[in-house]
Every structure is written in structure tokens, then in C-alpha cells.
Structure 1
Amino acid sequence: MALSQSTPVGLAPTVKKDPWWQNENLKAAALFALSLGIFLLFWEIGARAGWFVKGVPTATETIGEFWWWVTNPFYNNGPNDLGIGWNLLISLRRVAIGYILASLVAVPVGILIGMSPVAYKAFNPYVQLLKPVSPLAWLPLGLYLLRDSEKTGIFIIFISSIWPTLINTTFGVANVNQDYLDVANTLGASRLRTIWKVIIPAALPNIVSGLRISMGIAWLVIVAAEMLLGTGLGYFIWNEWNNLSIANILVAIFIIGLVGLLLDSLFAALEKFVAFGRNS
């Protein structure tokens, strides 16, 4: 009878590690750096050789402008000539106020609608009717009713970011496992306690997912709205277009994308943190 080979007692099995150059994250970083280098090189050569339309800045010119703006972000030469840092803070302030107001409405209303099939059938037509309307379609109405560009910007964020959170919250609450509710009812939990201790924790991954989508929409919308409202990153882009400064427009686009990436990453981390049931 042949003896089977086994690991000697007290010795941990040897784990073979892949060479460092086969690390997946390292490969991804190298591919990103290579593709970025190729893109910048193509951009630089193309702009200098006249491959693009007249006026397109080179990559080095744009990077130089970007460096100037990030090292001088808070200069103030009047309301029409603010550093990009001030414009960024203005946009973030509008987004924060409108987004928080929308969340404070969408989450409670979504919970109430999700708990009642009758309420869902009654209010779903409103959601389906208003959800596809472009946020900019509300801009003239907001200006007419509020007579203030700042309040109108917040209103546009509110009306555009409320729907994903409302829909996801309703879906999450409506699909809470019935066994959880039966156990809470058997233990004699009140309706309010059931909401706080059972329904909200169970629906939290869906709620956070809706909040994440709403933030992306809010950040997307504010730039377009500010082109007509004045101040903020949207107005900065429009003003630089009037000055025919394409390099500064590209700088603003990059900063908008970078801030959007950071905001989405924060919500992605929060979504992963609360998704306790998805990975189990």
C-alpha cells in the first residue's frame, strides 16, 4: 500500500507566488500609463502638425494651463473673473444643497411608497412622467418662479437628482424579505421600530445605490445649468469659450471629470460597505 505524501507537522504549505511583473494591478497601471502616453503624444504631434482644426492647443500647452490654474485657484478679480477653485466650490455648494434636499425627500417618500402597493400604483405614474424630463427643461420655469439664479441652480439639482434615489429606495423596500417582516411582527415590534430595525437596514444597499446614481446626475447637470446661470464651473467653461481659450475649457473638463470620479469613488466605497447581504 503506497503512502500518501503530506506536509510535515508544524510546517505550513509553501505558497507559490507569481512574479511581480505578473501582478494584475501592475499590469493595469502599466497599460494605463502606456495608453495615456500614446494619447498625449498623438495629441501633441497632431496639434503641431495641423491634423486637427485650427486653434486646438497642444498637450503641453494644456498641461501648462492646468498647472497654472491649480497653483492659482483662488484669485478674485471680480464676479466674472474668479479662480477655478472658487468656481469649483460654488458648483459643489449648489450640488450639495440640492442633492441633500432631494435625498431628504426621496428616501422617506420612497420608504412609504415601497411599503404600500396601493401608494406605489398611485404615485408611480407621476414618477414615470417626470423622470424622463430633461433637467434643463425646468430651467426657464425655475427662473420664472424663483427669480434668482442661485435658487434656480439648487432647484435644478433637486428635481434632477430626486428620481434615482426615490426609485431605488422604493424598489429596495418593496423587496425586503417577507420572513424578516414576519419575525418582527411575531416579536411584537411596532411599525416604526420595524421600519428602523428591519426595513431600512435590509433596503440600505439599494438606497445607497440610488444616492450614488443621483450624485452622478447632480454633478452632470450643474455644469450645463451654470452655463446659463452665471458663476460656477459651467459658467467658467462658457466664459472661456467666449474668450476662445480651448486650453482652459479642456482644463475645466478634466477637473470636472476628476471631481466626479472622486465623488463616485466615495459612494462606491459606501455602497460596498453597506452591501453586507450581497456578498454573503
Structure 2
Amino acid sequence: MVSAVFHSPLETMSAVGAEPVDPPATKVAPSQSVRAEPVEATTGTSTSSVRTARIPFDVRAAWLRVLPPVLGIGLLVLLWELVSLRSSSGLPTPVETFHQAVAVFSDPFYRKGPNDQGIGWNVLSSLQRVALGFGLAAAVGIPAGFMIGRFTFLSRMFNPLISLLRPVSPLAWLPIGLMVFKGANPAAIWTIFICSIWPMIINTAVGVQRVPSDYMNVARVLNLSEWKIVTRILFPAVLPYMLTGVRLAVGTAWLVIVAAEMLTGGVGIGFWVWDEWNNLNVRNIIIAIFVIGMVGLLLEYALIKLATAFTFEEVKT
């Protein structure tokens, strides 16, 4: 085995201006194999210590990200505790509500009759109504918004109607639904539909009207059909506005379904809240409030992620 020999540059220079001397060549027998030996660096550090530098963990940024939400929740719990201790109306404390929540969520899908079901079934029933009403509103509102924004005649025709009907409270439509559909469940879906359709129509129409005129001029020059104008030009440009309308609509729908179910009865998170109030079970009402907030937050977060995935603009809460 032949080991490599390293020479210092000072050793190979005999004087200033002298030519460098090449190290003598080493002959290796054909039967011998040359194997390179690991050589340590001259600085004394081993090769195992030379690794890719890791990105340092920013403790301060992580602490600033975690600390404010924890302080906010802690402040809420503290105020709740103070109010419950000084209240004479029997408001449960956070500890009592937590123990009740453990009991409620230990079996959220029980069935003991048509009006006595777990909180899981009630949430799923409310989500089902929201999905049906919201889906119908999207199927009608988004194409209507494209047409109103695309054609000036339709815009002038429907703008007064939208301005008149949009400020009406969604619950004001509930008696109309009960009279027309003769049932509590279709009436609740109708209420979700009528309150969800306006944000979709308005935001989609505004997005169509804000499409740059240069795009439409190019479409006229190329003699594109109306279908290609909608699918190739309008839809990509209007998508951020449309998703914003969808996000606003689903938030409104989830707010309205609770109040609608309180009035119509049946199975649903709104009916569950009203039923627990009739039973004077305030702890379950507080649990339902947190459940409603968490479900609404998850719906909002999912739609924000959807909007971020399909648009090039930064979508923030």
C-alpha cells in the first residue's frame, strides 16, 4: 500500500525566483492497488465535524407566536371566573364547564330518541343544512353574478332588487319558507340559501366588472365565443373575488343556521342550545357556544386555504 506524501510550498522552493520542484513520481506495481487514506485537515478539525449548517431555531419568533393567543385565552378564562364567582344567577365556572364538556364529548353520538341525541349528531345535522343551502346559493349566485357583471342591462335591472333585499334580516325569510315549504327543515335550508346568495352575487359581479378592458378587447379581436370569454378570461380573473364571496357566505350561513334551528326545532346545534336552555343547563349552552365558534373557525380556515391555493394573491383572515 502506498501512502500519499504532501510537501509544503516552502520546501519545494530552494531560493527566491527558483523554479518549483515537482515531487518524485512513485511507481506502483501492477499487482498493487492504491487506496486513498483519509487525511485530516491542517487546522486540526476532523472531517466528521464539517457538516451542513443548520438553520437556527428562532425562539423569540416562536414565543411571540404562541404567547399572545395563550394570554388572550387566559384573560377570557380569568374574566369568566371572576364573573361566575360574583354572579348570583348560577353561572358555571370554567372548571365546572370543563368537567361537563368531558362528559358531553365522551359520547357525542348517542341516540335516546328523536329529540335526545348527542352533540355530534346535532352538529352534523346543522352542517348538512348549511351544505345544502350554501350549495344551492353557489349554484345560483355565482352564474348570476357573472351575468350581472358581464351585461350592463342585467346589472341595471337587478341592482335595485339586490340593494332592496340584501339588508333584510335572514330570519325574516323564515316565515316565508315555512309557509311555502310546509316544513321546518326545508324552511331552514331556504333561510340559508337566501342569506348566502347575496355575497356571492355581489362579489362575483364586482370581479367581472373589474376585469381589465384590454382583456376584453383582445377577446373581440380574436372573435372568441362567449363560452371561451367566460372560461379563459373572466373565470381566472374573477376567481379571487368569487372565493371571497364564498368565504363571506359560509360565515353568514353558519351564523344564521343556529338562530333558524332555535325557531324551527328538530335536530341541530341551534335546537340543542334552545333545548338545554329549557332544561336550565347553562353549562351545555356554554359548551355549545364554543363548539359553534370552533366549527365556524374551521370552515373559515378551510376556505382561506382554498382561496390561497387557487389564487396568486395573499389571502388573510
| TM-score computed with the length of structure 1 as normaliser | 0.88
Matched position secondary structure for 2:86: coil
Distance in 1 (alpha carbons) for counterparts of 2:285 and 2:76: 18
Structure 2 gaps of 5+ residues are 1-52
For 1:26-41, list aligned pairs within 5 A: 26-41=63-78
Tell me whether 1:263 sits opposite 2:299 in the alignment: yes
Matched position secondary structure for 2:69: helix
User: Where has structure 1 moved over 4 Å in runs of 4 or more?
Assistant: none
The residue type equivalent to 2:298 in the other structure is: L
Distance in 1 (alpha carbons) for counterparts of 2:151 and 2:78: 58
The residue type equivalent to 1:236 in the other structure is: W
Distance in 2 (alpha carbons) for counterparts of 1:194 and 1:19: 49
> What CA RMSD, in Å, does the superposition of the two structures yield over aligned residues?
1.9
Distance in 1 (alpha carbons) for counterparts of 2:79 and 2:213: 58
Greater relative contact order (Cα < 8 A, sep 6+): 1
For 1:1-280, list aligned pairs within 5 A: 20-23=58-61, 25-44=62-81, 46-47=83-84, 50-230=85-265, 231-276=267-312
User: Displacement of 1:278 after TM fit?
Assistant: 6.5
Moved more, 178-187 or 201-210: 178-187
Structure 1 gaps of 5+ residues are 1-14
User: Displacement of 1:69 after TM fit?
Assistant: 1.8
The residue type equivalent to 1:239 in the other structure is: D
- Report if aligned partners of 2:308, 2:314 keep a CA contact under 8 Å in 1: no
**Higher Cα Rg, which structure:** 2
Question: Any idea what the Cα deviations from partners look like across 1:234-262, whole Å, max 9, x if unmatched?
Answer: 00000000111111000001000000000
The residue type equivalent to 1:20 in the other structure is: D
Paired residue total: 262
Would the alpha carbon gap of residues 84 and 30 (structure 1) be closer, same or farther in structure 2, given more than 3 Å must change?
same
Question: Any idea what the Cα deviations from partners look like across 1:118-140, whole Å, max 9, x if unmatched?
Answer: 21111101101110000111111
Distance in 2 (alpha carbons) for counterparts of 1:53 and 1:186: 76
The structure richer in helix per residue is 1
